[in-house]
Structures are given as structure tokens and as C-alpha cells.
Amino acid sequence: MQNTLITNSLEKSYSYTEYRNHISKLLLDGLSTGETQSESLTHYSTLNEVRMKRLDKTIKLTPDVVEKLKAIKDNYVFLVISEGWCGDAAQLLPVMEKMASENDLIDLRIVLRDENSELMDGFLTNGGRAIPKLILVDAKDNTVLGNWGPRPEGGTKLIKDAKEKFGVINEETKTELQKWYLHDKGISAMQEITALLEKAQASK
């Protein structure tokens, strides 16, 4: 059942370039991805497009991550659930793209959350539809080998602490999270995703 869902989702998926182009095209019409449309979501999508363009140029994989990625010998898919307005996705997708580009055996494919609710509901975070969610798939038979997301452990802790302190995620917390990402330079995400890959490799 899950394999069929993964197969169907992959058929509707975007490459990284296609995803970026899709968001850009929608923004020309003043729209964002997703079922809900609002001025704020379009605003976030515009900010994220600028952010991703910058990260595409500046993200650098660490030498140890490059070495581990090049050692991967099996075919995997990074199937990522995302939306153009999602700030975490904008920070993390460029990292995932950079990782996948290091080894031809890894393919990054992206699906939109609101168009893939059944898939999303199979990978909830504390009961919520938090994105981005990376699903590690065995490309041979579309078996799910693990998942990761919606953000690295450090970012997760920052949000958890803020919820406990303020009860909500306010604008100040969102700003602090963006600063955390800026300081981290994608290193936490690349290390945690590489660890997920290594675990899958070791279980074969």
C-alpha cells in the first residue's frame, strides 16, 4: 500500500528546477503554491525565492559529508513534501539539492503538500502536517527507508523552547530561526540527512 502511494506521488513530483520554476511562474500571477491563497503567503513565497537563489550559490557541503555521499552505492530518492511559502523548506531544499548532486544514485523529487494529503498524513510530525518532510525511498522498489524533517535538531529545539516560553510561534521566534539557519549554513541538515542515508545503507 505504502509503495503504491510513493509510486503515485513520484509520478506527480517535480525536479528541483521544475519546482523553482513552478513557484516563479505562480508569483508572476501573484499566487503561491497550496490550496490557501493570501497576500502574506505570496509575500513569504517571494522572500523564499530570493533566499533559495542566494543559498543555491552559497551552500557548501562539508568534506566529510561529500566523502560519505560519494560512498553511497545504492539508488535512493529524496522525496520531499514542500510548499513555496514554507520558510524551512526554502532553507533546506537547496541543501538537499546540493547533496543529491554529489551522487548520481540520489534523486531529489519534490511534491506539494496540499496536492498530496494522503502522503503527508503518512508522515505527520506530532500529529501535524509540518514541512518540509524528506522521505528516503529505495529507488529499486519505492520502499520507504526512513524520513527526516521538518527541520534540524537545533532548529527544532529553538521552536520547542519558544512554544514553551510564549505559547505561540511569534515573529520574533521566526526571525531567531532564520538567524539560526544563517549561522548553521546547512551543516546540521546535511549531517542528519547523511546519517539517515548511512543507516539505510547499513541495513541492506
Q: What confidence category does residue 84 fall into, taking pLDDT thresholds of 50, 70 and 90?
A: very high
Residues 110-130: b if buried by 16+ CB within 10 A, e if exposed: bbbbeebeebbebbeeeeebb
For each of the domains in the chain, give its residue range(s) and CATH number, in order of start. 2-202 (3.40.30.10)
Residue 119 has pLDDT above 70, yes or no: yes
Model confidence over 169-194: pLDDT tens digits? 888 888 999 999 999 999 999 999 99
Contact 118, 105 (CB under 8 A): no
Tell me which residue has cell 501535524: 128
Model confidence over 138-153: pLDDT tens digits? 999 999 999 999 999 9
pTM across the whole model? 0.95
Read off the pLDDT of each residue in 123-129 and give the average, rounded to a whole number.
94
Residue 39 has pLDDT above 80, yes or no: yes
In the prediction, which pLDDT does 1 show? 63
Residues 6 or more apart from 27 whose CB is under 8 A from it? Answer: 42, 45, 46, 49, 84
